[in-house]
Amino acid sequence: MIKVESVSGLRALLNDKKNIVFIPTMGNLHEGHLSLIDQATLISRTVVVSIFINPAQFNSSQDLEKYPRTIGQDIALLRPYENVIIFVPQLNEIYPETPNINYDLPPIANELCGKYRPGHFNGVITVIDRLFNLIKPQAAIFGKKDYQQLHLIKEFSKVSYPTIEIIGMPTIRDGNGLALSSRNNLFEKEQLIDISFFNQSLTNIAHHAQSGQNYQESILFGIDALKERGWLIDYIEVRRSSDLKVALPGDRHLIILGAANYKNIRLIDNIEFCIDGSN
């Protein structure tokens, strides 16, 4: 494991490296992140993991301030990875000038999470553009928990970085089905079972859709059940998994996506499924 904090230091380390695999993170690492790193080490002997809390993608300064910062713990988790380069830049290393956050993103960027977090995905693409340009990886790995984000990064990369392979990896969950997330650490331990009800609700809706039931009615029932438990719902929708367009009759490969707030903490989750149960 090598830790580097400057762009110049990173470039020196990568100067003669080929087949670089990159994993961007905002720190507060957990088993979900480690699963991405494990996959990266199977692909390449040169793996770069960035730890940078990107202010451009936060919609409020309060949310930015609350985001967990655990760099010591993160470094300890990564220490066993011999071939991993950890890039931990300061703000001025990533944004030496005011960043351009006005990307021409596809319309889906303004739907789902984009509807409730205006400008968020422009902020995400801003830092991805900067990091891809700095690191020039052959592949970049992301978790599927942020499915809309992954989709937009793929679309952006097709045009701006066509040589970079974008790899999506399955969401890692705890024993109650809760998707591992840095935001989970903002809850009290006894609340983790309560917030797993969000995934359970999405799972029930997906099962109803697979069995041929009217999933719109299932969505309304799921929203009501969540509200009764104190959740504030941004959205729960079924979309086509390939392009995130609204699902139409006859579409088989689908995904249910949801975003909701519990105790003023926002969580997202999704479940991919097939109407006929095939892969």
The predicted structure's pLDDT at residue 279: 46
- Domain boundary, last residue among 123, 147, 169: 169
Number of domains in the chain: 2
The predicted structure's pLDDT at residue 71: 95
- Residue 181 pLDDT class (50, 70, 90 cuts): very high
- Residue 172 pLDDT class (50, 70, 90 cuts): very high
Is the domain of 155 the same as that of 206? no
CA distances from 123 to 127, 148, 167, 239, 272 (A): 7, 14, 20, 24, 26
C-beta atoms surrounding 6 within 10 Å: 13
CB 77 within 8 A of CB 29: yes
Assigned domain for 82 exists: yes
Q: In the predicted model, what is the mean pLDDT of residues 142-167? A: 98
The predicted structure's pLDDT at residue 99: 80
Assigned domain for 279 exists: no
The verdict on whether 33 is a catalytic residue reads yes
- Domain boundary, last residue among 145, 169, 193: 169
- pTM beyond 0.85: yes
Is the domain of 93 the same as that of 230? no
Assigned domain for 177 exists: no
Q: Is the pLDDT of residue 93 over 90?
A: yes
Is the domain of 191 the same as that of 55? no
Q: Is the pLDDT of residue 139 over 80?
A: yes
CB 178 within 8 A of CB 31: no
The predicted structure's pLDDT at residue 100: 73
Q: Is the pLDDT of residue 278 over 50?
A: no
47 closest CA partner among 150, 160, 162, 140: 140
Assigned domain for 117 exists: yes
What is the tens place of the pLDDT at every residue in 246-258? 988 888 899 999 9
What is the tens place of the pLDDT at every residue in 99-115? 877 899 999 999 999 99
- Residue 151 pLDDT class (50, 70, 90 cuts): very high
How far apart (Å, rounded) are the C-alpha atoms in residues 77 and 73?
6
- Exactly one of 33, 120, 151, 208 is catalytic; name it: 33
Average pLDDT, the chain: 93
199 closest CA partner among 242, 244, 257, 151: 257
Q: In the predicted model, what is the mean pLDDT of residues 50-63? A: 92
Q: CATH code at 16? A: 3.40.50.620
Q: Is the pLDDT of residue 277 over 70?
A: no
- Which two tokens mark 14? 């990568």
The pLDDT > 90 percentage for the chain reads 78
Most confident of 154-163, 199-208, 240-249: 154-163
Q: In the predicted model, what is the mean pLDDT of residues 129-143? A: 97
Q: In the predicted model, what is the mean pLDDT of residues 51-57? A: 95
Cα end-to-end span (Å), the chain: 38
Is the domain of 163 the same as that of 194? no
Check the CA dihedral 9-154-258-208 and report its sign. Answer: negative
Is the domain of 134 the same as that of 55? yes
Q: In the predicted model, what is the mean pLDDT of residues 189-213? A: 89
User: What range defines the domain where residue 27 resides?
Assistant: 2-169
